[in-house]
C-alpha cells in the first residue's frame, strides 16, 4: 500500500498513522509518500506541490516501486499488487497521475487505487471552504509552510515574490483563504491565470476519464471541507465512459472522520470508512489472485 496524505498532511498525521496501523494489522505492507516541504521534509528546489504536480509520485513509483523492486524488497515468491490510497488532496493528485499515465499510455505501476473523501471538484470545494471555519485553518498552515521555506519560496518562478514577502505588511500574511494563496502562489507558479483555471485542470472528473486501473472513489454527504458531493449523474457519466471507475457515497462521515462509538474509538477499531477501504482491498486482492504469500 502506498498512502498519499491530504493537504499538508504527512506520515505523522493521526489519520495516516491510524490507517497504516490498521492496514499493517490486516497483513499489508505500507509506505507513505510525504509531500515535499511538509513537516520535516526539506524544500530544496524552487518547486512546490499542487493538485496537478505529479512528478514526485511518478518518480517514486517508477524508480522505487516497480513490481520487480517490490517483490525483491519483500522477498516474496510472486509479484504483489501495489495499491495506492489517496486521502483528500492526496486523492486528487493520485487521480491526476492516473489520468496522465493513461494519456501517455505508460504504466502507472499501480494495480488499483482508492480515493478517500477527495475534493473531486475543486471549484465546488473552494466555495464550500469559503463558507466554513476550516478554510481559515488551511490558509494559516499554507502561510506557515511558505514562511518556513521563505528562502526557497522567494525563488519561485512566475510568482510575484516581492509582493508576497517584502514591505512592512507583506501580502503573504494578509491572505485569508486557500483561493487567495492559490491566486498569488500556486496558480501562477504552475502556469495558470487564476485559481479557477487551476482547479478545473485538477478536476478528478477529467483525470479519471483516462485511468487505466480500477479506482474506487469514496465521498460523504456531510463533508464540511469538500462540500456536497458532485451530482450523481456526473459520476454515472464518468463510470459509463470509463468502467475502471466506481463511486461510493456514504450518508455521513464528515471529512475522513466516520467516528464510531467512544469505546470503539478508544480501542482503535476500524470505523465505517476504514471498513469500506478494507473491503475494497480484499476485493482487489481477490481479483488479482493474490493469496498473501
Q: Mind telling me the catalytic residues?
A: 88, 223, 255
Cβ neighbours of residue 119 closer than 8 Å, sequence gap 6 or more: 88, 89, 92, 125, 225, 226, 227
CB distance 27 to 292 below 8 Å:
yes
Please report, to the nearest 10 degrees, the dihedral formed by the alpha carbons of residues 134, 224, 191, 155 taken in order.
20
Using DSSP bridges, classify how beta strands 83-87 and 31-32 pair: parallel, antiparallel or unpaired.
unpaired
- Residue 184 sits at the vertex; the CA angle it makes with 41 and 158, to the nearest 5 degrees, is 80
> Which alpha helices (DSSP H) does the chain contain, by range?
14-25, 55-64, 67-74, 89-104, 122-130, 134-148, 150-153, 161-165, 178-181, 187-189, 195-201, 204-207, 232-241, 262-266, 272-288
Q: How many whole angstroms separate alpha carbon 186 and alpha carbon 43? A: 15
Q: How many helices (H) and strands (E) does the chain have?
A: 15, 6
Give which of 122, 105, 286, 116 is closest to 211, Cα–Cα. 105
- Residue 214 sits at the vertex; the CA angle it makes with 210 and 220, to the nearest 5 degrees, is 95
Amino acid at each position: 500500500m502506498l498512502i498519499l496524505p491530504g493537504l499538508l498532511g504527512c506520515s505523522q498525521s493521526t489519520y495516516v498513522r491510524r490507517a497504516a496501523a490498521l492496514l499493517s494489522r490486516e497483513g499489508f505492507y505500507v509506505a507513505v509518500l510525504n509531500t515535499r516541504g511538509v513537516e520535516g521534509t526539506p524544500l530544496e528546489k524552487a518547486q512546490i506541490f499542487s493538485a496537478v504536480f505529479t512528478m514526485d509520485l511518478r518518480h517514486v513509483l517508477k524508480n522505487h516501486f516497480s513490481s520487480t523492486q517490490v517483490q525483491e524488497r519483500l522477498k516474496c515468491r510472486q509479484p504483489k499488487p501495489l495499491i495506492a490510497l489517496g486521502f483528500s488532496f492526496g486523492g486528487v493528485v493520485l487521480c491526476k497521475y492516473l489520468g496522465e499515465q493513461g494519456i501517455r499510455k505508460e504504466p502507472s505501476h499501480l494495480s488499483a487505487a482508492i480515493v478517500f473523501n477527495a475534493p473531486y471538484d475543486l471549484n465546488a470545494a473552494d466555495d464550500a471552504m469559503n463558507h466554513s471555519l476550516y478554510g481559515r485553518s488551511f490558509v494559516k498552515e499554507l502561510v506557515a509552510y511558505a514562511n518556513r521555506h521563505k528562502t526557497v519560496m522567494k525563488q519561485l518562478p512566475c510568482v510575484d515574490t516581492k509582493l508576497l514577502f517584502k514591505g512592512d505588511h507583506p501580502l503573504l500574511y494578509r491572505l485569508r483563504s486557500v483561493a487567495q494563496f492559490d491566486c498569488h502562489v500556486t496558480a501562477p507558479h504552475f502556469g495558470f491565470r487564476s485559481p479557477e483555471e487551476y482547479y478545473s485542470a485538477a478536476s478528478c472528473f477529467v483525470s479519471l476519464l483516462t485511468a487505466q486501473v480500477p479506482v474506487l472513489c469514496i465521498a460523504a454527504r456531510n463533508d464540511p471541507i469538500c462540500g456536497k458531493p458532485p451530482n450523481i449523474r456526473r459520476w454515472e457519466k464518468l463510470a459509463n465512459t470509463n468502467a475502471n471507475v466506481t463511486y461510493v457515497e456514504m450518508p455521513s462521515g464528515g471529512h475522513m472522520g466516520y467516528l464510531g462509538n467512544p469505546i470503539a474509538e478508544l480501542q482503535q477499531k476500524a470505523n465505517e470508512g476504514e471498513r469500506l477501504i478494507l473491503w475494497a482491498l480484499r476485493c482487489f486482492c481477490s481479483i488479482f489472485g493474490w493469496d498473501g504469500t
